[in-house]
A = this chain, B = another copy of it.
Amino acid sequence: MALIDYADAAPEVRAVFDDIKATRGVADVNNFWKALAVHPPTLKRTWESLKQVMAPGALDPLTKEMLYLAASAAAGCAYCTASHTAAARAKGMTDAMHGELLAVLGMAAETNRLAEALRVPIDQGL
């Protein structure tokens, strides 16, 4: 797949790349954005949604990033697992926190599968 670098990007793509770099304080954007630039409307919409969703709110940025990592790893996305592991570490996830996140992820996978294989009925009152 093609990755579109800043130097080769159309103005509408550069505008999104500039906003990503300014918002995150980084020198270049990740490959994800360079790949998504093949369809500028999807690039712009996805970035604007992500920026809104990941802004601080009732949950702090590290918790949001770890939730993003847990969801991405549970969905088996290798690229996403790599990039959100790095992002969570940059926001303060320690080795011990990462280890516990992995342990939760593994237990969830096991009990998810058992609950489905046993067709457990949802508890009264939920």
Taking Cβ atoms with an 8 Å cutoff, the residues of A that contact B are 1, 3, 30-32, 35-36, 38-39, 41-42, 45-46, 49-50, 52-54, 57-59, 63-64, 66-68, 70-83, 85-86, 94-123, 126
Residue from the set A1, A39, A68, A70 with the largest chain B CB neighbour count within 10 Å: A70
Assuming the A-B contacts A1-B120, A126-B82, are A107 and B76 also in contact, with contact meaning beta carbons closer than 8 angstroms in the complex? no
Contacts of A121 in B (CB 8 A): 3, 31, 79
Copies in the complex: 6
Contacts of A111 in B (CB 8 A): 32, 46, 50, 72, 80, 106
Do the beta carbons of B78 and A119 come within 8 Å of each other? Answer: yes
